[in-house]
Amino acid sequence: MIISTALGLLALVIGLVIGWPVLVLLSIVFTAVQLVMVVARSAVAHNDAKVAERIAAKQARHNRPEDPA
């Protein structure tokens, strides 16, 4: 995903150098979408880790042996 973002930025630079406004516009849109996807993937991974911690804590509380006293 990072490689495709880099390719989008490269196409943006090439479009600016050559002077093709359509390529520049498409590159901007593509790069923005790729960056949003990278941020979303990071947020999902962070959320998954937090949920896994909560589930592990609940299981630990549930599986804890009761005090016989």
Q: What is the pLDDT of residue 51?
A: 96
Are 9 and 30 a contacting pair, CB within 8 Å? no
Q: What is the pLDDT of residue 36?
A: 93
Whether the predicted model's global pTM rises above the 0.85 cut: no
First to last CA, the chain: 57
Q: What is the pLDDT of residue 67?
A: 59
Q: Where are the domains of the chain?
A: 2-62
Q: What is the pLDDT of residue 27?
A: 86
DSSP helix/strand/coil, 39: helix
The pLDDT profile of the chain, 69 residues, written as one tens digit per residue, is 778 778 878 888 888 898 888 888 888 898 889 889 999 999 999 999 999 999 999 998 888 776 555
